[in-house]
């Protein structure tokens, strides 16, 4: 269970953790002690500050999804 009182923006947390979970499922190395589930590992990484959302000043730690989804890129 996630302590929502520690989150500044719940929506941003969900988006960043979801993007990181997709990276982990594709084979990225975990940055915290890994769980057996990539979603749980991604949530722990975001809460621990191991990954950050994209900012205007710098590059993102987590790449945003491509337009049209991953399936569109596979069909090209």
Q: What is the CATH number of the domain that holds 31?
A: 3.90.940
**Percent helix, percent strand, percent coil in the chain, to nearest 5:** 45, 0, 55
Measured distance CA(49)–CA(21) in Å, rounded: 15
At 26, the pLDDT band (50, 70, 90 cuts) reads very high
At 33, the pLDDT band (50, 70, 90 cuts) reads confident
Residue 3 lies in a domain: no
Count of domains for the chain: 1
For the stretch 35-47, pLDDT in tens is 789 999 999 999 8
Residue 20 lies in a domain: yes
Residue 1 lies in a domain: no
Q: Which domain holds residue 36?
A: 8-74
33 vs 75, more confident: 33
Residue 2 lies in a domain: no
């Amino acid at each position: 269970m996630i302590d929502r009182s520690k989150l500044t923006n719940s929506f941003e947390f969900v988006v960043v953790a979801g993007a990181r979970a997709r990276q982990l499922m594709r084979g990225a190395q975990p940055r915290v002690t890994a769980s057996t589930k990539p979603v749980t590992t991604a949530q722990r990484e975001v809460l621990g500050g191991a990954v950050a959302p994209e900012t205007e000043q710098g590059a993102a730690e987590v790449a945003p999804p491509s337009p049209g989804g991953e399936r569109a890129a596979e069909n090209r």
